[in-house]
């Protein structure tokens, strides 16, 4: 439980003073109740942890990406495990007008854009442990040019002429229009950010971890499940992508008939009908609680994508009402089996548990900093606590399999109360008796003692 000992591995990236300050802050965050703010942390720190010390730490530039990797590589990495690279964005609601990067971002919780801050995170997910470990977190900021382009796009969509009212022109391709190379993509600020963060993380971990797949959550229509992102992942990162397509994506079977004697060779066959899937593509079927689930896998084509896609379509049918719903998962790896593709996309949800723990326990939604450096350090500390809590909880689960983060905080808080009470005794107990008392006290406030 010596926090300062655990943090000595960070000496490659931060100085000794910052490590000492971080150990004081970490112990206070593990112990405290209430909101995790600078003032709240200062009230729970032990000797050497004044509010001024907290201020100095928060105003010092810290390379959190390297800090997260060094801690993960020292204590959490299992080189025999298989890891997936998972990326997703989280939005924190904030009021006021002074916070750095404050803007309106789409929140999946509220289902609409809200005023707040957005952060994009890349985590490594262990397939065997089924846990996500955040290794790189960066704030999403939009320039004035990006905001203007977004507004222009909204106006174009709002004033778009319906297809039924357009005058009919000549059939065929318009004069002067040439074939477009779908591998030449249009770079957006979001894609440039994903490329930079992905290259940085892959360069950092390549000596210890071999990664083949980048799994991205489809938070909004066409957000990541498109050709531009797929080509960027293949060309710039050298990985295969796993993501989800829109439910109404126009997919085509490859043409297998006889080619005509002249003209361009046909590539696209019949359009896929999700209500009448080809029987030869069925790979698994089962019924549970009145729902029939049929899983289909096939190599399909999409006219907006440059390459064929390995698609897995999950069709669920209500046996009573016969109503159907389906989900389309895809990967650029044509050899990936349906079971591994589905499992990989399910594992991407582990990053949501990182966001939940960071917000609920470690101050990701509590910080009141408005300047860039203190704000970045508050977020970096929250995700560092996610990895640290993984390590501490794992140690306790050797004797108590149901041990959780609430038990961890209760343990540290009870030890702190016990130590403060024992300091009032005229004679301090001997070390053996002291450890027995400190081991017994935390069980009083634990959910799983």
Contact criterion met (CB below 8 Å) for 334 and 310: yes
**Which band of pLDDT confidence, cut at 50, 70 and 90, is reported for residue 305?**
very high
Higher pLDDT, 23 or 107: 23
Confidence label for 265 from pLDDT (cuts 50, 70 and 90): confident
Mean pLDDT in residue range 253-275: 85
The closest alpha carbon to 10, from 70, 54, 59, belongs to: 70
| Beta pairing partners, 340 | none
Mean pLDDT within 146-172: 68
What's the average model confidence in pLDDT over 329-354? 94
pLDDT of residue 60 exceeding 90: yes
Confidence of residue 58 (pLDDT cuts 50, 70, 90): very high
Pick 15 or 144 by higher pLDDT. Answer: 15
Lowest mean pLDDT among 135-149, 186-200, 292-306: 135-149
Please report, for the chain, the start and end positions of each structural domain, with discontinuous segments joined by +.
3-142+185-217+348-396, 408-445
Range scoring the smallest mean pLDDT among 180-189, 344-353, 416-425, 429-438:
429-438
Per-residue pLDDT at 222 exceeds 60: no
Q: Identify the residue with better confidence: 150 or 196.
A: 196
Q: Give the pLDDT score at 221.
A: 44
| Residue 393 contacts residue 369 (beta carbons within 8 Å) | no
- Give CA separation, 231 vs 199, 224, 227, 248, 307, in Å: 15, 11, 6, 21, 9
**C-alpha Rg value of the chain to the nearest Å:** 27
| Distance of alpha carbon 413 from alpha carbon 417, whole angstroms | 6
The pLDDT value given to residue 170: 75
Lowest mean pLDDT among 159-168, 195-204, 252-261, 341-350: 159-168
In this prediction, residue 161 carries a pLDDT of 62
Distance CA 368, CA 374 (A): 9
Higher pLDDT, 385 or 226: 385
| pLDDT at residue number 360 | 93
Distance CA 406, CA 412 (A): 10
The mean pLDDT value for 193-199 works out to: 94
Mean of the pLDDT values across residues 409-432? Answer: 80
How far apart, in Å, do the first and last CA atoms of the chain sit?
Answer: 17
Torsion of the alpha carbons at 265, 267, 270 and 274, rounded to the nearest 10? 180
Mean pLDDT of all residues belonging to the chain:
88
pLDDT at 225: 85
DSSP-assigned beta bridge partners for residue 299: 310
Per-residue pLDDT at 335 exceeds 90: yes
What's the pLDDT score for residue 148?
74
Per-residue pLDDT at 64 exceeds 90: yes
How large is the average pLDDT for residues 394-403? 88
- CA 6 to each of CA 46, 88, 137, 400: distance values in angstroms, whole numbers, following the listed order: 18, 28, 22, 22
CA 246/CA 304 separation, integer angstroms: 13
Picking from 13-22, 166-175, 212-221, 299-308, which range would have the lowest pLDDT averaged per residue? 166-175
């Amino acid at each position: 439980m010596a926090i300062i000992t655990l943090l000595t591995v960070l000496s490659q990236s931060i100085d000794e003073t910052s490590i000492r300050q971080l150990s004081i802050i970490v112990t206070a965050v593990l112990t405290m109740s209430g909101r995790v703010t600078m003032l709240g942390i200062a009230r729970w720190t032990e000797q050497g942890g004044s509010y001024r010390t907290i201020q100095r730490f928060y105003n010092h530039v810290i390379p959190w990406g390297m800090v997260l990797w060094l801690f993960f590589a020292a204590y959490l990495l299992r080189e025999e495990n298989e890891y997936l690279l998972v990326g997703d964005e989280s939005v924190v609601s904030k009021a006021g007008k002074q916070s750095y990067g404050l803007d309106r971002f789409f929140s999946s919780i509220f289902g609409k854009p809200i005023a707040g801050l957005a952060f994009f995170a890349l985590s490594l997910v262990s397939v065997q442990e089924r846990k996500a470990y955040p290794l790189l977190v960066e704030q999403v900021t939009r320039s004035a040019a990006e905001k203007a382009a977004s507004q222009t796009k909204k106006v174009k969509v709002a004033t778009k002429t319906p297809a039924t009212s357009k005058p009919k022109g000549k059939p065929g391709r318009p004069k002067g229009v040439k074939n477009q190379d779908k591998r030449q993509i249009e770079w957006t600020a979001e894609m440039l950010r994903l490329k930079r963060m992905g290259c940085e993380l892959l360069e950092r971990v390549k000596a210890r971890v071999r990664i083949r797949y980048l799994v991205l959550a489809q938070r909004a229509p066409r957000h990541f499940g498109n050709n531009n992102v797929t080509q960027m992942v293949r060309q710039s990162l050298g990985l295969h992508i796993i993501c989800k397509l829109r439910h109404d994506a126009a997919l085509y079977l490859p043409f297998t008939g006889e080619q005509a004697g002249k003209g361009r060779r046909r590539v696209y066959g019949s359009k896929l009908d999700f209500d009448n899937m080809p029987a030869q593509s069925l790979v698994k079927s089962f019924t549970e609680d009145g729902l029939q689930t049929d899983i289909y896998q096939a190599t399909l084509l999409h006219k907006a994508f440059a390459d064929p896609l390995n698609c897995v379509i999950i069709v669920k049918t209500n046996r009573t009402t016969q109503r159907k719903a389906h989900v389309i998962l895809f990967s650029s790896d044509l050899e990936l089996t349906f079971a591994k593709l589905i499992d990989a996309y399910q594992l991407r949800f582990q990053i949501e548990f990182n966001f939940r723990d960071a917000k609920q326990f470690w101050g990701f939604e509590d910080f009141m900093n408005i300047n860039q450096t203190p704000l970045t350090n508050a977020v970096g500390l929250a995700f560092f606590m996610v990895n640290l809590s993984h390590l501490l909880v794992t140690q306790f689960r050797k004797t108590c399999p149901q041990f959780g983060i609430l038990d961890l905080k209760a343990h540290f808080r009870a030890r702190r109360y016990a130590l403060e009470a024992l300091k009032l005794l005229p004679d301090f107990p001997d070390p053996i008796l002291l450890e027995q008392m400190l081991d017994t006290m935390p069980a009083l406030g634990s959910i799983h003692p």
